Chains A and B, each alone.
Chain A
Amino acid sequence: MSEPTVAPRAAGASSVVDSTIEAGLEVKVRSQWDYARRRFLRHRLAITGLTGLVIIFGAGIFANLIAPYSFSEIDLTNILHGPTTVGHHFFGTDEIGRDYFSRVIWGIRTSEEVGLVVAATSSLFGLLVGAVAGYYGGWIDNLLMRFTDLVLTLPALAILLTAAALLGQGSQWRTTFILAAFFWTGIARVVRGVFLSLREKEYVEAAKAAGAGDARIMFRHILPNTLGPIIVNGTLAVGIAIVTEAALSFLGFGIKPPTPSLGVLVAGAQTNPQQWWLTIFPGLTIVLIVLCVNFVGDGLRDALDPTQRRIRA
């Protein structure tokens, strides 16, 4: 993302060229990020997704301000109530009278913490590994790629479950760690691919000829081009991490009660299948989060992908 578009000019501007500008033939100079931002903003779905995410994640961040009750406040006089406006129980109550709306909101906070941290750390680690592998090639690349290939051949959920079972469960951060330790491989592959293809580009050769060192080339020339795929993959990883954590928690191997995560809530709802709100609300929240994340991810991909296909005139 280093070359801006500039209007071509003949050497030695003459009156002919000036009239070119007057005739409105010039192309405005815009940076690549400018173009990306404009493309993203034109994507209505992406904007909807972004708005949705801001609302939902915002609710999670400000959980202690928004949630009318704490997630563990028990009220045995009010068990298994359907959704109502009485007492602000918008999502009803569960089998020991806890306000479900609050529990869902706190659940959002847990899930979003897990999702964001997993995405961030796995992206960072994946970037480092992928950069080294892609740039230096040779046996480093081979080793790393064989490793990530192997990870791909393993059944993902089973490995995560086994890791959770063996390494300790229940804690939100243990689960985060396990997920991140698995997710970085995907990002490493993508980054490595980009580095590999860009390593051979002419401007890298030019930089080398001018005497630039390896680190400088990697940082100034190649890295900016990997930001696009990383941002896209990192965004989508948030959604995948949240769903995976929910699945782990649902099966009993992820986050355990009393910490509310959306998966834990759905699991708890299984004992009361007739009280539909117990199952629907946390699940619906997960679906909405993932939908919004995917919309935003798609929008980002459209905005940042330089290989956009345009109509041929």
Chain B
Amino acid sequence: MLEPILSIKNLAVEFKTDDGIVHAVDDITYDVFPGEMLGIVGESGSGKSVSTLSILGLIPQPPGRIVSGTALLKGRDLLKMKKKELRQVRGDEVAMIFQDPMTSLNPVLKVGFQLGEAIKTHYPKEPDDTVKTRVIDLLRLVGVPNPESRYHQYPHEFSGGMRQRAMIAMSIANSPSLLIADEPTTALDVTIQAQVLEVLSTVQQETNAATILITHDLGVVAEMCDRVLVMYAGRIVESGDVETIFRAPRHPYTIGLMDSLPKLTEDEEWLHPIPGAPPSLINRPSGCAFHPRCFLSQGRLQCREQVPVLHGVEGSEHRAACHFSDELIGRTSKFSHTVAEGAV
């Protein structure tokens, strides 16, 4: 068994707002292993972004607060580090790629400069031309054409897809051991999405960095990830490797997510959304947060009163947080054929 690069245990993050305390992340535990791509799926407000932003100290700490937990990066607890130490980790050992490339780059500074900044911050003694060469190489690696001239351009002269490639290049500049991509393709056109995902794939293979890919798009997860976590209302509700989860999901929410996707190869009359709305994170439903919308619950007392714990289902690595996941045994998702055909 490999040692995990990142090991998060019992992380809880809350935000103080005018309307009350928002429990954005509620007691989550997961590991990321070297070289793998871990997907985190969930709706907006599920806490998927907050969990990664908080361990890097990127959430504003006045309204936000890390209530409890540990986040061990190669043995060192990120949550206990002083600001200076944490800054050294950011951009060097752990790097982030953000969602909106239009606004994630400083519009008045040249692209080459901003990429170089990522390197010079951690290796200030490197001579300028070495840095410049490295930046140009990085741009070439991610597929930006004419990297030598693009180096001197401003972000608004790049297209959306190219900007995201530049962001990816910037993140791997110091060969991080952990890469966190927070919805990297959500703001892009579908065709560009495919290209950027390919770049991400290439980059991961080149650097062998462990990658966390946060998204709400199941298709992206299916295509890119080795393992996946499903989050709902600040908790992890299911985890396991991609093939198992897509073939035989064991949590009603995951099933609902998959059922709501239209399938190209079948004739469907109606779409099947999950009924109801995501819960308020201030007034969470008691017990299992999903029970008001759950088809399996049927109003049972245990669902309303007890918070389900992640426990192993059929395989030891496949876990689900549902009191009645056993009742789902034998059920296959509508994607099981696709999985079997190896199209995933």
Contacts and interface: CB of A to CB of B under 8 A. Distances in A.
B50 A19 contact: no
Interface in A13-41: 14-17, 19-20, 23-25
A16 B22 CA distance: 24
Nearest to B22: A313
B293 A20 contact: yes
Contact of A10 (B273, B292, B294, B299): B273
Contacts of A313: 15, 22, 24, 45, 50, 281
B285 interface: yes
Contacts of B301: none
A311 B17 contact: yes
B281 A16 contact: no
A8 interface: yes
A229 to B, nearest CB: 24
B275 A17 contact: yes
B140 to A, nearest CB: 34
B147 interface: no
A313 B281 CA distance: 10
Contact of B285 (A7, A17, A23): A23
B277 interface: yes
Contacts of B276: 10, 16-17, 20, 25
A10 B277 CA distance: 9
Nearest to A7: B277
A16 B295 CA distance: 8
Interface string B285-297: 1000000111100
Interface residues of A, number: 14
Contacts of B292: 16, 19-20, 23, 25
**Dominant SS among interface residues on chain B:** loop
B60 A311 contact: yes
Interface string A116-149: 0000000000000000000000000000000000
Contacts, number: 45
B283 interface: yes
Contacts of B50: 313
Residue of B273, B277, B280, B285 contacting most chain A CB atoms (<10 Å): B277
B17 A25 contact: no
Nearest to A42: B18
Interface string A157-177: 000000000000000000000
Contacts of A10: 273, 275-276
B280 A311 contact: no
Residue of B45, B283, B293 contacting most chain A CB atoms (<10 Å): B293
B13 to A, nearest CB: 9
B282 to A, nearest CB: 10
B235 to A, nearest CB: 15
Contact of A25 (B45, B273, B280, B295): B280
Nearest to B273: A10
Interface string B264-287: 000000000101110111010100
Nearest to B274: A10
Contacts of A19: 292, 299
B277 A20 contact: yes
Contacts of A16: 275-276, 292-295
A25 B289 CA distance: 11
A20 B280 CA distance: 11
A53 B248 CA distance: 68
Contact of A311 (B15, B281, B294): B15
Nearest to A22: B292
Interface in B21-46: 22, 24, 45
Contacts of A25: 276-277, 279-280, 283, 285, 292
Contact of B275 (A14, A23, A24): A14
B75 interface: no
B45 to A, nearest CB: 7
A17 B295 CA distance: 11
A307 to B, nearest CB: 15
B262 interface: no
Contacts of B145: none
Nearest to B286: A23
Interface string A1-13: 0000001101000
A24 B294 CA distance: 16
Nearest to B13: A313
A104 B216 CA distance: 65
B219 interface: no
A84 B113 CA distance: 69
Contacts of B24: 313
B271 to A, nearest CB: 10
Interface in B233-287: 273, 275-277, 279-281, 283, 285
Given A8-B277, A19-B292, A24 B22 contact: no
B63 interface: yes
Nearest to B276: A20
Interface pairs A-B: 6 shortest CB-CB: A10-B275, A20-B276, A23-B292, A23-B285, A20-B292, A16-B275
Interface of A: 7-8, 10, 14-17, 19-20, 23-25, 311, 313
14 contacts: A8-B277, A10-B275, A16-B276, A16-B293, A16-B294, A17-B276, A20-B275, A20-B276, A20-B292, A20-B293, A25-B276, A25-B280, A313-B24, A313-B45
Given A24-B280, A25-B276, 6 more contacts: A10-B273, A16-B292, A23-B279, A23-B292, A25-B277, A313-B50
